Amino acid sequence: MEIRIKVVCTSLCRSDITQWESKAQPALFPRIFGHEASGIVESIGEGVTEFKVGDHVITVFIGECKKCKHCISGKSNMCQVLGLERKGVMHSDQKTRFSIKGKPVYHYCGVSSFSEYTVVHSGCAVKISSAAPMEKICLLSCGAAAGLGAAWKVADVSEGSTVVIFGLGTVGLSVAQGAKLRGASQIIGVDTNPEKKEKGKDFGITEFINPSDYEEPIQQVVKRITDGGADYSFECIGDTGIVSTALQSCCDGWGVTVSLGVPKVKPEVSAHYALLLSGRTLKGSLFGGWKPKTELPSLVDKYLQKVLQLPLGFVLHLYKVSDFNEAFNLMREGKCLRCVMHMPK
Ligand SMILES: [Zn+2]
Ligand SMILES: [Zn+2]
């Protein structure tokens, strides 16, 4: 049930770097990172009927088997069969499809797209229109889709509401865009990088807060400009301390906080119970709650119809393996949104 894909474009996501630097044991190296990609089906394995050679696809790091309890439920995208793969192997047989001199080379999230060719379970690829530009559409494979889904599916932002977003990277800007398309009246972006102010406007941010410009806690600033707190707040940084700030920034009674970031340190969330007792809800989501096979094609169509824009930083054309380092450096220095890499032809 697997397909081999010729990777055309792949983008670098913060979680590739987080996992690469992770000190978790056992260390899964050597390993091929990369989980956001677009490509062309190069060959198909036994049992696969849904794809044919030449199909354009995007990869997904959580698949959809369409049979398990979660896939059948309308409430979840946490497939029990093709869920987030953390052990560096394929879902079906717990083995790898890459090796060097007989020794395994581990996968990442069942995708491993930093490679000219990769093998994925057919449930972890989504067929898309061949009219979709590969270098843009790979962003719907993770970051951009996660942000849009958090606004639309998880928070279900309503018209005329107030929204605050912590962190204006690809994910945060996509939340902003999702909120704007839903008709939110006030969309506040919080980021320590002043350059995000102008970028944010393009995606619907109506007010920008740089925490460095204020002496008081940021939740107080948000409360002041939203008459007691926003209707929705989103944590898109991957800092559990900011989850508490986001919870404090939304209003009593119906405030909803959605946590999307993947924390690099201190995974525990702490919050005063009174924040919940007074009616707030804290929700989390992986991949914006999208069921990838069922729902991603509609996002691709929205992009093609120019309803959506995709927050892209740089496009790099790779000529040799070491060119990857440039993308890693750009992301670590915070110099770009998503960096998309064209694989060598
Ligand atoms: Zn990602
Ligand atoms: Zn499933």
Ligand 2 centre from 280 Cα, in Å? 31
Residue with tokens 């770009």: 336
Alpha carbons 89 and 229: distance in angstroms, whole number: 44
Ligand 2 centre from 292 Cα, in Å? 11
Residue 17 has pLDDT above 90, yes or no: no
Task: Give the ligand whose atoms come closest to the C-alpha of residue 170.
Answer: 1
Alpha helices in the chain (DSSP H): 14-21, 69-72, 134-137, 143-149, 170-181, 196-202, 218-225, 240-249, 273-277, 292-304, 324-332
What average pLDDT score do residues 237-243 get? 94
End-to-end CA distance of the chain: 27
pLDDT tier for residue 321 given thresholds of 50, 70 and 90: low
Asked whether the beta carbons of 130 and 8 are under 8 A apart, the reply is no
What average pLDDT score do residues 163-179 get? 96
Can you give the pLDDT at residue 247?
Answer: 97
Ligand 2 centre from 160 Cα, in Å? 36
Alpha carbons 195 and 204: distance in angstroms, whole number: 15
Domains of the chain: residue spans and CATH = 2-141+311-342 (3.90.180.10), 147-285 (3.40.50.720)
Ligand 2 centre from 253 Cα, in Å? 35
> For 290, how many CA atoms within 13 A lie in the half-sphere containing its CB?
30
Ligand 2 centre from 278 Cα, in Å? 36
Helix (H) or strand (E) holding 338: strand 338-342
Residue 320 has pLDDT above 90, yes or no: no
What average pLDDT score do residues 100-124 get? 96
Task: Give the ligand whose atoms come closest to the C-alpha of residue 79.
Answer: 2
| One-letter-per-residue 3-state SS of 180-223 | HHCCCCEEEEECCCCCHHHHHHHCCCCEEECHHHCCCCHHHHHH
Alpha carbons 19 and 31: distance in angstroms, whole number: 10
Ligand 2 centre from 73 Cα, in Å? 9
Ligand 2 centre from 201 Cα, in Å? 38
Ligand 1 centre from 331 Cα, in Å? 13
What average pLDDT score do residues 217-240 get? 96
Can you give the pLDDT at residue 104?
Answer: 96
Residue 216 has pLDDT above 80, yes or no: yes
Task: Give the ligand whose atoms come closest to the C-alpha of residue 260.
Answer: 1
* C-alpha closest to that of 310 among 130, 177, 160: 177
Asked whether the beta carbons of 340 and 11 are under 8 A apart, the reply is yes
Can you give the pLDDT at residue 294?
Answer: 95
Give me the residues paired with residue 120 across strands. 3
Can you give the pLDDT at residue 122?
Answer: 97
Alpha carbons 239 and 262: distance in angstroms, whole number: 7
Can you give the pLDDT at residue 328?
Answer: 85
pTM over 0.85: yes
Which has the minimum average pLDDT: 3-7, 118-122, 133-137, 320-324? 320-324
Ligand 2 centre from 66 Cα, in Å? 5
Six token digits for residue 193: 């990088």
Ligand 1 centre from 245 Cα, in Å? 23
Higher model confidence: residue 4 or residue 343?
4
Ligand 2 centre from 4 Cα, in Å? 21
Ligand 2 centre from 88 Cα, in Å? 19
What pLDDT digit, counting tens, does each position of 189-205 carry?
999 999 999 999 999 99
What average pLDDT score do residues 155-161 get? 98
Alpha carbons 259 and 154: distance in angstroms, whole number: 10
pLDDT tier for residue 337 given thresholds of 50, 70 and 90: confident
Can you give the pLDDT at residue 39?
Answer: 98
What average pLDDT score do residues 295-314 get? 90
Ligand 1 centre from 292 Cα, in Å? 14
Can you give the pLDDT at residue 41?
Answer: 98
Residue with tokens 């002043």: 194
Ligand 1 centre from 3 Cα, in Å? 21
Q: What is the mean pLDDT of the chain?
A: 93
Alpha carbons 181 and 98: distance in angstroms, whole number: 42
Ligand 2 centre from 339 Cα, in Å? 31
Asked whether the beta carbons of 287 and 60 are under 8 A apart, the reply is yes
> 50-71 burial, b for 16+ CB within 10 Å, e for fewer?
ebeeebbbbbbbbbbbeebebb
What pLDDT digit, counting tens, does each position of 23-62 carry?
777 788 999 999 999 999 999 999 999 999 999 999 999 9
Residue 319 has pLDDT above 90, yes or no: no
Ligand 1 centre from 329 Cα, in Å? 17
Task: Give the ligand whose atoms come closest to the C-alpha of residue 331.
Answer: 1
What average pLDDT score do residues 226-255 get? 97
